[in-house]
Amino acid sequence: MKADPQYAPEHLALEAVRRLGPEARSWAEHAREEDPGTTADALAQQAVRRFTSHARLSGAVSGAAGLPGAVVDVGVLAWTQSRMVLHIAAAYGIDPVDPERATDLLVLQKVHKIAETARVALGVAAGRERANRLFADSTGKPLSGVMVKLGVKLAQMAGVRAAKRMFAKVVPGAAVILGSWVNSAATKDLARRTQAQYSAA
């Protein structure tokens, strides 16, 4: 992602489906074996509670760490939220390993408004991943500038859009509480959109 920060959300979505999709599918299968009577909604709620707690904890840690922690946290939050979306998909019997889930991630996280533009961007990012193995296209770029761009892109993906919400994480004396609140609120918003989409599928 540092080599191609412009497409950071797309790279993260592709990698999330590759790495986290199998985990989500196994989790849902195991949960159904343990309790065959459990409903899809109940399974989805388990995922929401689990990953909202993870997001809240990382927000509190980032608040304690100040601005550097807040910048790192948006990447952690985007990854945590991607895990949640894939687990919710699996809860509703939708294959979390299907490449189309990367499109879902980008639309649900409001990186793209419609699936078609998300698919095009994913195709570009996948092509750039392959090209990057042959060409080092990040040379000559100042690392600090790349990291700022990367942080902004991942913040957008994680739902931390307003600057005041980002800087709420570094308010003296309240950063831990506010960091936890920002992450929790963004993750709950995403959970509502995800459940609405997959429960209707």
- Token pair recorded at residue 94: 């939708």
- Token pair recorded at residue 113: 């408004």
User: Closest Cα partner for 63 from 151, 183, 161?
Assistant: 183
Phi, psi of 149 (to 5 degrees): -60, -40
* pLDDT tens per residue across span 11-68: 999 999 999 999 999 999 999 999 999 999 999 999 999 999 988 876 555 444 444 4
Enter the pTM of the model: 0.77
Q: 135 CB contacts (<8 Å, ≥6 apart)?
A: none
